[in-house]
Amino acid sequence: HRSPLNDFERLRATELLAAPTDPLPVLLEWGSAEQCAQHCVTSLTCRAFHHNRQSQLCQLLPWTQHSPHVQLQKNIHYDLYQKKDYLRDCIVADGSSYRGTRATTEKGLRCQHWQATTPHDHRFLPSPRNGLEENYCRNPDRDKQGPWCYTIDPNVRHQTCGIKKCEDAVCVTCNGEDYRGTVDHTESGTECQRWDLQHPHKHPFHPDKYPDKGLDNNYCRNPDSSERPWCYTTDPGREREYCRIRICKKRPRPHNVTTGCFRGKGEGYRGRVNITVSGIPCQRWDTQSPHQHHFVPEKYPCKDLQENYCRNPDGSEAPWCFTTHPTIRIAFCFHIRRCPEELSTPECYHSHGEHYHGHISKTRKGITCQPWAAQAPHVPQISPLTHPEAHLEENYCRNPDNDSHGPWCYTMDPRTPFDYCAIKPCSGSTVPSIVENPDAVTFEQCGRRDERLQWKGR
Amino acid sequence: IVGGQPGNSPWTVSIRNRAGSHFCGGSLVKEQWVISTRQCFSSCDADLTGYEVQLGTLFKDPGPGDPNQQTILIARIVCGPSESELVMLKLARPAVLNSRVALICLPHERYVVPAGTVCEIAGWGETRGTADGNVLNVARLPVLAHDECNAALRGRLKDSELCTAPLRAGVGACEGDYGGPLACLTADCWVLEGVIIPSRVCARTDQPALFIRVSLYVDWIHKVMKM
């Protein structure tokens, strides 16, 4: 059940361009990414391959991004797969498969080229199979200390390079939700299943669906706020397992700590609200009744699971808690106020701000305004040509359409066509209060439902 | 919805996170636009990859064969004017309107719902045992006059808020209903007059319930859909 892709790191929408002098890569072959990987693994020269998802063509490459005279380039038609051993800057087991480009010993001595026999003569000569190239650290004799090399110092024949094991190279803070190291085996030594594969284990953690969880290749990750990084295993009999990774000594200071309100998803909320909206007291985090759970305070040291306070240890939409009501397991604490996140300037506007001619040119989120005369990133429907009397100068905030919510502008953020500005209404500004009922209103094409479709019918 | 009963509200949508869990409600105001509340989302430029809305079914978690269920990914979130506590969600593709999926009307700008009008809230949220929490529940609430509500709240009512009167039986929105509609029948059409916002306690019997007054933001809503 091991996929040949397990030996590769995938770079999406990326192409590896070689200098024109290099020999053209091996011809194209047809197949799925896994079939291409199988070809590449069995080829002595292949170190990477392009896979064109549309044409299902693949191009085997004898180089990687660390080879000389090559460069990575965006190309939406290709995914680039490179052998991990050539990319990783850490070793697995004794590092016999290490093919990185480290060329200095742990004491900082430069390595002698394997091709050379001076200053030190030796019998480890390069061959297509043994990976001895240039003067890179290697472990041709399975030395327990890991990759080593002969040194250019006549007095030091050879020395270990001190390359760290992958489980030590990148340590884990808190529960490892932001661990992005390259450990790809579980604590029992089973190899991990790739996150972008659904075999041998089907799972919900598609990398596309969780772009912020770093679900790359088959590396250990923690997308669901478990106690520590884990992965699905390539053993059909064992769905998932934790990985053994060094814990960082230093605990990071929690950022965005708030107490009277919560920001974003409230992962930094450290206030003392401990009751749900429905008035049900929260269950203490250090008890397992009435609801059993795995959010044991000592296992989540960075989440401040104190008492029975609302918290967000798992990246949910908002702070939440287990409730003391036996039939209601969890409740959000949306009733905690959100912290205001808007910028504001000392300037203010009267009425709707239709006569505001100030020089503020930022939205309330701090995004720079697009010049009114510009056509990008947004093609304006309102411009100095269409509204000559509205003083649409530069990229200053204005209210050419008498928007009742004040001065606004097109924004330089391609995703946000327009937004209101960081200007507040002047206090006492005479915005007409709500108009009493206007004359009879009518509606078309909306608000009608088939009253017969009541529940009974269902 | 506490104190309600199963009902049909074809413009009410369920907003679900990447894990497919319902966490808030919304209202379909255009085939590709849903209105909800800012309180349901972590930020105005939240990455909503994998978030979706579910329409066309009365079940909170319908089985695979539900005939009219539509599930559509959310493409974008746009935050409303400050204080509005509103957001608009642009769907990745238009919803298909049918007997189970319909648009709710938007009110006329600054329209005031006459006091006493009986409106309806809907949602898949907490029922506190008063109804089946696995299906869409609806409840009816009478609108309270602005000044009467302001008096009851000792002057804390904002222009951007709309009130309904407390009922002795304890009827109201709760956890999981936030963002859903307060719909009022006007000229034989259901109109989105309010959006449900989190309150400190559900279904209070001693205080009016507050909603975002949509008629104050109709110009912004049209502007977003136009732009």
Residue A80: CB atoms within 10 A of its CB come to 24
User: Which of A420, A434, A441 shows the shortest C-beta gap to B82?
Assistant: A420
- Model confidence at A147, in pLDDT bands (50, 70, 90)? very high
Report the distance separating Cα A323 and Cα A282, nearest Å: 4
Per residue in A382-413, pLDDT (tens digit) is: 999 999 999 999 999 999 999 999 999 999 99
pLDDT score for A24:
60
Given a contact cutoff of 8 angstroms between Cβ atoms, the answer to whether B79 and B28 are in contact is no
Instruction: Collect all residues with Cβ–Cβ distance below 8 Å to A210 and sequence separation of at least 6.
Output: A223, B18, B49, B50
Cβ <8 Å between A342 and B129: no
Closest listed residue to residue A136, CA positions, set A120, A116, A112, A157: A112
Per residue in B180-220, pLDDT (tens digit) is: 999 999 888 999 999 999 887 888 898 999 999 999 999 99
Instruction: Collect all residues with Cβ–Cβ distance below 8 Å to B97 and sequence separation of at least 6.
Output: B31, B103
Cβ <8 Å between B187 and A442: yes
pLDDT score for A278:
78
What six digits make up the tokens of B198?
């989190």
- Determine the residue of chain B that is closest to A204 in CA distance: B19
Residue numbers of A between 371 and 430 with CB closer than 8 Å to B: 378, 381, 401, 403-406, 415-420, 424
Residue numbers of B between 74 and 103 with CB closer than 8 Å to A: 76, 78-79, 81-82, 84, 99-100, 102-103
Per residue in B67-112, pLDDT (tens digit) is: 889 999 999 999 999 889 999 999 999 999 999 999 999 999 989 9
User: Which of B42, B189, B198 shows the shortest C-beta gap to A277?
Assistant: B198
Instruction: Collect all residues with Cβ–Cβ distance below 8 Å to A186 and sequence separation of at least 6.
Output: A192, A220, A230, A231, A233, A241, A242, A243, A244
B19 interfacial to chain A (CB closer than 8 Å): yes
Average pLDDT, chain A: 89
Is it the case that residue A432 has pLDDT exceeding 80?
A: no
- Model confidence at A252, in pLDDT bands (50, 70, 90)? confident
pLDDT score for A437:
56
The CA distance from B137 to the nearest CA of chain A, in Å, is 10
Strands B86-91 and B33-37 turn out to be antiparallel
Per residue in A54-86, pLDDT (tens digit) is: 888 889 999 999 988 888 999 988 899 999 999
Residue A126: CB atoms within 10 A of its CB come to 15
Given a contact cutoff of 8 angstroms between Cβ atoms, the answer to whether B31 and B103 are in contact is yes
Helices (H) and strands (E) in chain A, counts: 3, 17
Helices (H) and strands (E) in chain B, counts: 2, 13
Range from A191-200, A341-350, B54-63, B101-110 carrying the lowest mean pLDDT: A341-350
Is it the case that residue A435 has pLDDT exceeding 60?
A: no
What six digits make up the tokens of A362?
């930022």
The CA distance from A419 to the nearest CA of chain B, in Å, is 8
Instruction: For residue A420, list chain B residues with Cβ-Cβ distance below 8 A.
Output: 81-82
Report the distance separating Cα A324 and Cα B68, nearest Å: 37
What's the rounded mean pLDDT across residues A175-189? Answer: 94
Is it the case that residue A456 has pLDDT exceeding 50?
A: no
Instruction: For residue A209, list chain B residues with Cβ-Cβ distance below 8 A.
Output: 18, 49-50
Report the distance separating Cα A401 and Cα A406, nearest Å: 10
User: Which of A331, A341, A405 shows the shortest C-beta gap to B220?
Assistant: A405
A443 interfacial to chain B (CB closer than 8 Å): yes
Report the distance separating Cα A118 and Cα A338, nearest Å: 69
The CA distance from B112 to the nearest CA of chain A, in Å, is 5
pLDDT score for A345:
74
Per residue in B137-151, pLDDT (tens digit) is: 999 999 999 999 999
The CA distance from B79 to the nearest CA of chain A, in Å, is 9
User: Which of A405, A434, A449 shows the shortest C-beta gap to B10?
Assistant: A449
Query: Could you give the count of Cα atoms lying within 13 Å of A305 in the half-sphere of its Cβ?
Result: 23
The CA distance from A326 to the nearest CA of chain B, in Å, is 12
Closest listed residue to residue A222, CA positions, set A239, A240, A201: A240
pLDDT score for A137:
97
The proportion of chain A whose per-residue pLDDT surpasses 90, expressed as a percent, equals 69
Report the distance separating Cα A5 and Cα A13, nearest Å: 17
List, as own/partner pairs, every contact residues A188-191 make where C-beta atoms lie below 8 angstroms and the sequence separation is at least 24, other chains included: A188/A241, A190/A233, A190/A234, A190/A235, A190/A238, A190/A241, A191/A2, A191/A6, A191/A218, A191/A233, A191/A234
Most distant CA pair in chain A, distance: 100
Per residue in A87-113, pLDDT (tens digit) is: 999 999 999 999 999 999 999 999 999
What's the rounded mean pLDDT across residues B37-51? Answer: 89
Strands A57-61 and A230-232 turn out to be unpaired
State how far Cα A194 lies from the chain centre.
16
Report the distance separating Cα A128 and Cα A130, nearest Å: 6
Instruction: For residue A451, list chain B residues with Cβ-Cβ distance below 8 A.
Output: 8
Q: What is the DSSP letter of A299?
A: G
Report the distance separating Cα B135 and Cα B176, nearest Å: 12
Instruction: For residue A338, list chain B residues with Cβ-Cβ distance below 8 A.
Output: 38-39
What is the predicted ipTM?
A: 0.85
Is it the case that residue A430 has pLDDT exceeding 70?
A: no
Given a contact cutoff of 8 angstroms between Cβ atoms, the answer to whether B180 and B122 are in contact is yes
Distances (CA, A) of B68 to A99, A449, B14, B90, B185: 55, 15, 14, 21, 25
- Model confidence at A1, in pLDDT bands (50, 70, 90)? confident
Cβ <8 Å between A334 and B175: yes
Is it the case that residue B18 has pLDDT exceeding 50?
A: yes
Closest listed residue to residue B227, CA positions, set A408, A124, A431, A62: A408
Cβ <8 Å between A404 and B219: yes
Distances (CA, A) of A202 to A194, B64, B144: 11, 18, 52
Cβ <8 Å between B178 and A448: no
Q: How many residues does chain B have?
A: 227
Per residue in A28-62, pLDDT (tens digit) is: 677 889 999 999 998 888 999 999 988 888 899 99
The CA distance from B154 to the nearest CA of chain A, in Å, is 19
Place of tokens 């009467």: B148
What's the rounded mean pLDDT across residues A226-251? Answer: 94
Q: Which residues pair with A159 in a beta bridge?
A: A149
Distances (CA, A) of A222 to A173, A174, A177, A201, A216: 12, 11, 5, 17, 12
DSSP letter string, B70-109:
EEEEEEEEEE-STTT-EEEEEESSPPPPSSS--PPBPPPT
pLDDT score for A455:
47
Q: Which residues pair with B22 in a beta bridge?
A: B16
Is it the case that residue A175 has pLDDT exceeding 80?
A: yes
Distance in angstroms between the alpha carbons of the first and the last residue of chain A: 46
Burial of A351 per CB tally in 10 Å (0-12, 13-18, 19+): middle
What six digits make up the tokens of A130?
């043994």
What's the rounded mean pLDDT across residues A423-428? Answer: 82
Instruction: For residue B183, list chain A residues with Cβ-Cβ distance below 8 A.
Output: 447
Is A418 or A449 the better-scoring residue by pLDDT? A418
A442 interfacial to chain B (CB closer than 8 Å): yes
Is it the case that residue B41 has pLDDT exceeding 80?
A: yes
The proportion of chain A whose per-residue pLDDT surpasses 70, expressed as a percent, equals 93
Amino acid in the structure at residue B35? I
Is it the case that residue A458 has pLDDT exceeding 50?
A: no
Q: Which residues pair with A172 in a beta bridge?
A: A247
What's the rounded mean pLDDT across residues A163-190? Answer: 94
Given a contact cutoff of 8 angstroms between Cβ atoms, the answer to whether B112 and B171 are in contact is no
What's the rounded mean pLDDT across residues A252-281? Answer: 89
DSSP letter string, A134-185:
TT--B-TT--TT--EEEBSSTT--EEE--PPBHHHHS-B-TT-TT------B
Instruction: For residue B128, list chain A residues with Cβ-Cβ distance below 8 A.
Output: 278
A338 interfacial to chain B (CB closer than 8 Å): yes
